[in-house]
């Protein structure tokens, strides 16, 4: 069975003759143990064109040390990575199917093969607190690497790692300061494999500048799109492992990206993005089926938990569980089938193409300040119209539908503002925050509409089965009352969001 840890570490290059300083006296550190010498040997696997490491992912089979086994490391941002481990006994030299499936979004069906072998002589020290508990590990590595494949290249270097095992970011920052003073330099690359394959990977010198008002409109929009694509890729393995909230976050990234294509059609040609938008809608729908079942089940269970015991009559909880268990299981199966299918892999290829060869519209090269506020302004006008329509709609299904349409418009306006906020700063962020409140309240209202239909069906089923359906009636009425309150909240939230000060930057 796979185990998972979250790895937070910093790496340093140690120039010749650099001595590793003592780290006693750092915040919370009472003692150091070691050094203990370990000898590690690892074989790294990737596709022929190095798709994993180019995405910041490493897959290795390591022997020696305190954690031999198969290790899959996935980026989480900053100093952290998620590491999934399998024991060596689970496979020999072939990549375990479980790990191969987790990186399918990166490999796109390409075979995984050994690309490098890395041997490490490690001197390991442990920083301990007063109770003798481990706060961090500090390792001094002498590394020898050989690439595999068409030609072999040998390389040698020394590096130092500080990995948190119980301490916090303050300890990591203090250690960083002391190591730099001793002559160590922040490593240019996070993984040993990156250094071993440096000649085959793109240079990391420099960084992409932050979008600004004077940036080309396309640069701002594509930077946001790239962030959402990266989120989809990063979340894919977590969705496959059924990690909490992963489906929701991947669905949000998919919706943000689709909304971006719709909102900025004068920057990225709308007609060329239409099919991609349809495919993102499909993916969002697959993710949504799984997510919606989870939300509805949680909503009903939470509502039942709020009722006094005397109002719960009959096997209500059992009926709710019996209804949703197969629905959630079926949605989960369909989701995994979709992620393993050719349609999903083709969509990922299309997303790569969007970023590498974007379909630029005539206004793409103009300054962001001249193009993008107008695009956000259009989404704001759309939201205003739909909120007005909902306000004038008669109570009942018609108003519910109108409020649902207003929610979708609020979502598009929010995502459009978020997309341009790196260039337009605080005014865009304030507007996005206000519109997010409108979207959230309307989202709760829509969840209630869907829940009431579900509650009614469950009540009918209970009645036909000879059970007491009273509790379902109570739940229905509670949600109906909540809906009226949410309508009022939505109107107030929109009234605040529509204030002149939040839209001044759009003029």
Q: Which helix (H) or strand (E) holds 54?
A: helix 51-54
Centroid of chain to Cα 330: 23
In the chain, domain spans: 3-200, 217-506
What are the two backbone dihedrals, phi and then psi, of residue 411, each rounded to the nearest 5 degrees?
-65, -45
The structure tokens listed for 120 are 């490490």
> Is the preceding omega at residue 8 within 30 degrees of 0, hence cis?
no
Conformation bin of residue 84: beta by default, left when phi > 0, alpha when psi is -120 to 50 = beta
Tell me the C-alpha distance between 288 and 111, whole Å.
Answer: 31
- In the 3-class helix/strand/coil scheme, how is 253-292 assigned residue by residue? HHHHHHHHHHHCCCCECHHHHHHHHHHHHHHHHHHHHHHH
Nearest CA-CA partner of 37 in 118, 122, 158: 122
How confident is the prediction along the chain (507 residues), in pLDDT tens digits per residue?
A: 678 888 899 999 988 888 888 888 899 999 999 889 999 999 999 999 999 999 999 999 999 988 899 999 998 877 889 999 999 875 567 899 999 999 999 999 899 999 999 999 999 999 999 999 999 999 999 999 999 977 788 999 999 999 999 999 999 999 999 999 999 999 877 789 998 998 888 765 544 567 877 899 999 999 999 999 999 999 999 999 999 899 999 999 999 999 999 999 999 999 999 999 999 999 999 999 888 888 888 899 999 999 999 999 999 999 999 999 999 999 999 999 999 999 999 999 999 999 999 999 999 999 999 999 999 999 999 999 999 999 999 999 999 999 999 999 999 999 999 999 999 999 999 999 999 999 999 999 999 999 999 999 999 999 999 999 999 999 999 999 999 999 999 999 999 999 999 999 988
- Domain 3-200 in CATH 2.40.320.10: yes
What are the two backbone dihedrals, phi and then psi, of residue 209, each rounded to the nearest 5 degrees?
-70, 150
The structure tokens listed for 353 are 């193409």
Where does 112-153 show beta strands of DSSP type E? 113-128, 134-147
- 């060329």: which residue's tokens? 272
What are the two backbone dihedrals, phi and then psi, of residue 345, each rounded to the nearest 5 degrees?
-65, -35
Q: Residue 223 gets which letter from DSSP?
A: H
Tell me the C-alpha distance between 283 and 171, whole Å.
Answer: 42
Comparing 3-200 with 217-506, is the CATH topology the same? no
Nearest CA-CA partner of 454 in 314, 290, 324: 324
CATH assignment of 217-506? 1.40.20.10
471 burial (CB, 10 Å; 0-12 / 13-18 / 19+) is buried
Tell me the C-alpha distance between 230 and 228, whole Å.
Answer: 5
């Amino acid at each position: 069975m796979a185990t998972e840890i979250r790895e937070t570490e910093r790496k340093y290059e140690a120039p010749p003759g650099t001595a590793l300083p003592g780290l006693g006296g750092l915040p919370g550190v009472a003692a150091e143990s070691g050094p203990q010498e370990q000898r590690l040997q690892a074989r790294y696997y990737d596709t022929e064109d190095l798709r994993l490491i180019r995405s910041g992912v490493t897959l290795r089979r390591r022997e020696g040390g305190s954690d031999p086994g198969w290790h899959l490391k996935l980026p989480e941002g900053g100093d952290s990575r998620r590491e999934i481990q399998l024991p060596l006994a689970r496979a020999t030299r072939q990549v375990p199917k479980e790990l191969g499936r987790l990186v399918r979004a990166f490999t796109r069906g390409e075979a995984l093969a050994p690309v490098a072998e890395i041997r490490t002589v490690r001197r390991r020290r442990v920083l301990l607190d007063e109770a003798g508990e481990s706060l961090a590990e500090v390792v001094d590595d002498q590394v020898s690497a050989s690439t595999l494949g068409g030609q072999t290249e040998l390389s040698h270097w020394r590096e130092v790692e500080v990995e948190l095992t119980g301490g916090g970011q303050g300890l990591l920052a203090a250690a960083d300061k002391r190591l730099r003073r001793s002559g160590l330099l922040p490593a240019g690359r996070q993984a040993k494999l990156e250094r071993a394959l440096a000649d085959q990977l793109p240079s990391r010198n420099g960084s992409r500048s932050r979008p600004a008002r004077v940036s080309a409109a396309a640069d701002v929009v594509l930077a946001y799109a790239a962030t959402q694509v990266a989120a989809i890729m990063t979340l894919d393995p977590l969705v496959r492992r059924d990690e909490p909230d992963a489906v929701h976050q991947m669905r949000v990234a998919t919706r943000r990206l689709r909304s971006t294509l719709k909102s900025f059609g004068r920057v990225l040609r709308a007609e060329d993005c239409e099919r991609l938008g349809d495919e993102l809608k499909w993916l969002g729908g697959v993710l949504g089926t799984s997510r919606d079942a989870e939300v509805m089940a949680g909503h009903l269970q939470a509502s039942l938990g709020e009722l006094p015991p005397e109002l719960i009559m009959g096997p209500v909880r059992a009926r709710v569980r019996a209804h949703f268990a197969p629905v959630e299981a079926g949605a989960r199966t369909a989701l995994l089938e979709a992620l393993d299918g050719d349609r999903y892999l083709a969509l990922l290829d299309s997303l790569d193409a969007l970023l590498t060869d974007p379909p630029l519209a005539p206004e793409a090269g103009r300054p962001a300040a001249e193009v993008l506020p107008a695009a956000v302004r259009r989404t704001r006008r759309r939201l205003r119209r739909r909120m007005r329509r909902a306000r004038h709609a008669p109570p009942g299904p018609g108003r519910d539908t109108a409020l649902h349409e207003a929610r979708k418009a609020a979502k598009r306006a929010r995502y459009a503002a978020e997309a341009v906020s790196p260039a337009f700063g605080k005014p865009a962020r304030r507007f996005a925050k206000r519109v997010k409140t409108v979207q959230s309240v309307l989202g709760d209202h829509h969840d209630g509409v869907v829940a009431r239909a579900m509650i009614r069906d469950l009540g009918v089923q209970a009645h036909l089965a000879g059970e007491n359906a009273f509790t379902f009636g109570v739940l229905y009425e509670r949600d109906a009352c909540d809906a009226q309150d949410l309508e009022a909240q939505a109107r107030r939230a929109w009234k605040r969001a529509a204030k002149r000060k939040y839209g001044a930057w759009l003029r």
